[in-house]
Structure 1
Amino acid sequence: MPHRYIKKILSANVYDVAVETPVDPARSLSKRLANNILIKREDLQPIFSFKIRGAYNCISKLTDTQRASGVVCASAGNHAQGVAMSAQHLGIDATIVMPKSTPEIKVNSVRALGAKVILHGDSFAQAFAHSRTLMADLGMVYIHPFDDEHVIAGQGTVAVELLRQVQGNIDVVFVPVGGGGLIAGMSVYIKYLRPDIKIIGVEPEDSCCLKAAMDAGERVILSEVGTFAEGVAVAQIGKLNFELAQQYVDEVITVTTDELCAAIKDIYGDTRAVAEPSGACAVAGLKKYVEREKAQGQTLVAVSTGANLNFDRLRHVAERAEIGEGREAIIAAEIPEQPGSFKRFCTALGERNITEFNYRYGNNTKAQVFVGVTLKTDEGGREPLLKQLASHHITAVDLSNNEMAKSHVRYMVGGHASVDNEVVYRFTFPERPGALLKFLNKLGQLWNISMFHYRNHGSAYGRVLVAMQVRPEDKVKFEGYLDELGYAFNEETDNPAYQLFLAPE
């Protein structure tokens, strides 16, 4: 099998539209991590993503009869642009099915490349099903984003360039993983020529379909897929891709949303390019590997796969980057409700700066404050901060890893309410015009809404925190109603951030 793929990779036709991208040294990151860190700049492709390679190689292999039929695919972003540009260059009709939640900037980019865009469904799964229906009904050729030999071969040309560009030693190559097209193509080529090089896949921890498959020894379908890094938000690894990954990928590392934000900042610091979350996966995994292995003096390569980031999301990235880097802690602290308490609290922090402070009067004896604190670079995490506060008789709870606290509660600190039978849920719904109103109309018909927070992060999906008054005897009926709504949800009634700042006393 390797020989077959090597031949396909070496004969892949990509440079009619793709460009050979540079390998840039990450000087600041290299100095900070004491390793030679290199970044393969696939964000410099004409569509700002590596996806152009696989799409063009696949489409260019079609017969004249197939080309006359036109091509179709389902995609919310980079693959769509790759197919559209490839089809335009070859004079082939292209139809792209995109979820209705796809940001307008991406829809317009695909249309500008000459493709017909059909907006269908709220999710990628619904868009995918419709694209397959079009294929069957109209006889078009389906261009798969990753589970195709020609697509895999096209993505493998990244590895061909990399090994030619970096002549010396390479210890590890880090590759983002969604459906697996890139890591399949790169790993089979690198291991064929340089089996000494370690290949590590990197996935967000909330969409780790390759790691789940590796652990299970077979492909699995994730029940939920996180959407922050939408470029790699895939529920199941590709069949061909998994077969190759099992043989040639050494390990899969998962990273958090905050770690991705920190990696976006790192890439910007060394290249002045703003990577999309999926494009920063490899750097985030590289940093985690260095910390775990205490690696020094190694040559480590990260593939920056794309830079199609919605401008609106920069605010969210900036808010989370310092937490992801371990330079900021988010805590809830209890202080006496008396003059001078805030000053004493600041004194207890020592030389650490306060980045955020949220407070509202609660009662005459004590106050809960929501605080962001800059950590010292040499103190090794958040534990020393908590110990120092404890030494000043200040009780503090670390909320740095509490998603509800960071996405909602930090903007809501306003005191405890006087309501009965309150339950709290966090929802995710497709973000498009009118979506919030539709959500409210569905949710608020039978039970009273006692708390609500929504904030647009420029993502394809909106996130809402809702409290409802539900009597205990109605809880089963209520959750049955939520299931019927069709929105992803998690109960957060016992979340410490809610209990400390918002729950009825």
Structure 2
Amino acid sequence: MASAAKAQVTLPVSIEDVRAAHMRIRDSIVRTPTLISRTLSALTGATVYLKFENLQFTAAYKERGALNTLLQLSDDARGKGVIAASAGNHAQGLAYHANRLGIPSTIVMPRNTPTVKVVQTEGHGANVVLEGDTFDAASAHARVLEAECGYTFVHPFDDPRVIAGQGTVAIEMLEDVPEIDLFVTPIGGGGLISGMATVARAAGRPIEVVGVEAELFPSMYNRINGTDMACAGDTLAEGIAVKEPGAITSAMVAELVDDIVLVSERSLEEAVSLLLQIEKTVVEGAGAAGLAALMQHRERFAGRTIGVVLCGGNIDPRLLAYVLLRDLARSGRMARLRIRLQDQPGALYNVARIFDAQRVNILELAHQRIFTNLPAKGLSLDVECETRDRAHLDRLLAALQAAGYETRLVELA
């Protein structure tokens, strides 16, 4: 991790590179706001400023590094076009700005990429090639096409031009809020945090830089700390689910970043939900990682003035709906109760009267008479219901138990 003893090491990206990138791209990207969140500050015990990069045209900061790279291509390279392997925000950012600049772009995606992502990328003018069942296979094919067709390969993170472009996020944050003394930044391949840490180290005052990874994909954490935790699983933060960080970015993180923390899937879900409810803004799992860290590791960040990048807002609407409903369940505002009843007339009516008396709204009912270990004359009733809060739910449970009903709350993981 970063230390004063390493301050003289020459790195592939300098503050001059980042400043030049900002001059190059600033008129063609959205100058997204950096705003204080008083509610999130109260919840976390820190002073929290949010950088709304989900408001870029393609809803992610990735446009910055892609555009900075495109603007430095030679005329010959522009004519031949660019290529990338990506099924996410890098694909859309590169395709959008390449199309705007009249540069042909080809994006290689795995064959199992959701159709909506293919359509979105094609909508930005890219030629999408579906190849392989994994990202590694798609990336290898992109390299083949690069050699065959003379395309310029634009890496999503392990390229000094991309890193410099991503660092412009920090330049804008410090211009808007000079008092920030700590950046909490998601890490996937490491391009964003490498660029932001470059800016932080050149600020002329101490600014701590802390990276955030999902517990399921601690690849940069492993690289820096010499650990060997598994990188696998279905994470909400798919935008930072990188198995192998970059060589350039790993060196920069080792030199410039102070710490890396890991966050759970539950914290990521809670952060996505809070940002929608409190800030009225939609973020993807990776975009919520910074807030997830502040909530899960409150003692680490309490009392600091923190800049958090909401780095992307491209989340599937169905997935967002599931996240919000799960959050309602965890907070007690929605619940599924399993109630044991006798299979006789009036049983459902009698239990429903208790819900009515407690002013609890019933959303869905499900009887189970066959696949149950209850006696033949018994049945299991699942009731999905809506309450005001956890205290209201607790009153309902107490009323059911007082009436003699064996009741169990079906908990979420």
TM-score interval for Structure 1 and Structure 2 normalised by the shorter chain: 0.7 to 0.9
Cross-structure match for 2:197: 187
TM-score normalised by length of structure 2: 0.79
> Structure 1 residue 377: deviation in Å?
7.0
Change (3 A) 1:104 1:393: closer
Q: Separation in 2 of the partners of 1:38 and 1:59? A: 30
> Structure 1 residue 333: deviation in Å?
6.9
Change (3 A) 1:11 1:321: same
Give 3-state SS (helix, strand or coil) of 2:18's partner: helix
Match of 1:320 among 326, 330, 339: 326
- Asked if structure 1 preserves the Cα contact closer than 8 Å seen for 2:216 and 2:230, the reply is no
Matched, 1:201 2:207: no
> Structure 1 residue 155: deviation in Å?
0.3
Cross-structure match for 2:314: 308
Cross-structure match for 1:267: 275
Change (3 A) 1:294 1:41: closer
RMSD after superposition: 3.7
Q: Answer 1 or 2: higher relative contact order, Cα 8 Å, separation at least 6.
A: 2
- Asked if structure 1 preserves the Cα contact closer than 8 Å seen for 2:365 and 2:381, the reply is yes
> Structure 1 residue 196: deviation in Å?
2.8
- Asked if structure 1 preserves the Cα contact closer than 8 Å seen for 2:83 and 2:151, the reply is yes
> Structure 1 residue 124: deviation in Å?
1.9
Matched, 1:172 2:177: no
- Asked if structure 2 preserves the Cα contact closer than 8 Å seen for 1:28 and 1:269, the reply is no
Change (3 A) 1:320 1:210: farther
Cross-structure match for 1:238: 246
> Structure 1 residue 329: deviation in Å?
9.3
TM-score normalised by length of structure 1: 0.66
Q: Separation in 2 of the partners of 1:303 and 1:30? A: 15
Change (3 A) 1:207 1:332: farther
Deviations 1:251-274 (A, max 9, x none): 222223332222122222333221
Matched, 1:6 2:15: yes
Give 3-state SS (helix, strand or coil) of 2:368's partner: coil
- Asked if structure 2 preserves the Cα contact closer than 8 Å seen for 1:332 and 1:368, the reply is no
Equivalent runs, 1:274-285 vs 2, <5 Å:
274-285=282-293
Amino acid at match of 2:91: A
Cross-structure match for 1:97: 108
Amino acid at match of 2:327: A
- Asked if structure 2 preserves the Cα contact closer than 8 Å seen for 1:329 and 1:400, the reply is no
Give 3-state SS (helix, strand or coil) of 2:202's partner: helix
Deviations 1:8-44 (A, max 9, x none): 1111122242222110222332333443221101111
Amino acid at match of 2:269: C
Change (3 A) 1:372 1:38: farther
> Structure 1 residue 335: deviation in Å?
5.7
Cross-structure match for 1:433: none
Give 3-state SS (helix, strand or coil) of 2:288's partner: helix
Matched, 1:124 2:135: yes
Q: Separation in 2 of the partners of 1:376 and 1:293? A: 29
Gapped regions of structure 2 (runs ≥ 5): 1-9
Cross-structure match for 1:408: none
Equivalent runs, 1:270-419 vs 2, <5 Å:
270-290=278-298, 292-293=299-300, 295=302, 297-322=303-328, 360-361=368-369, 362=372, 363-364=374-375, 399-401=411-413
Give 3-state SS (helix, strand or coil) of 2:60's partner: coil
> Structure 1 residue 395: deviation in Å?
9.4
Cross-structure match for 1:258: 266
Equivalent runs, 1:32-181 vs 2, <5 Å:
32-168=43-179, 170-181=180-191
Match of 1:28 among 21, 39, 44: 39
Change (3 A) 1:331 1:5: farther
Q: Separation in 1 of the partners of 2:205 and 2:66? A: 27
Cross-structure match for 2:256: 248
Change (3 A) 1:372 1:234: farther
- Asked if structure 2 preserves the Cα contact closer than 8 Å seen for 1:22 and 1:40, the reply is yes
Percent of residue pairs identical: 33
- Asked if structure 2 preserves the Cα contact closer than 8 Å seen for 1:132 and 1:142, the reply is yes
Match of 1:19 among 19, 30, 42: 30
- Asked if structure 2 preserves the Cα contact closer than 8 Å seen for 1:229 and 1:278, the reply is yes
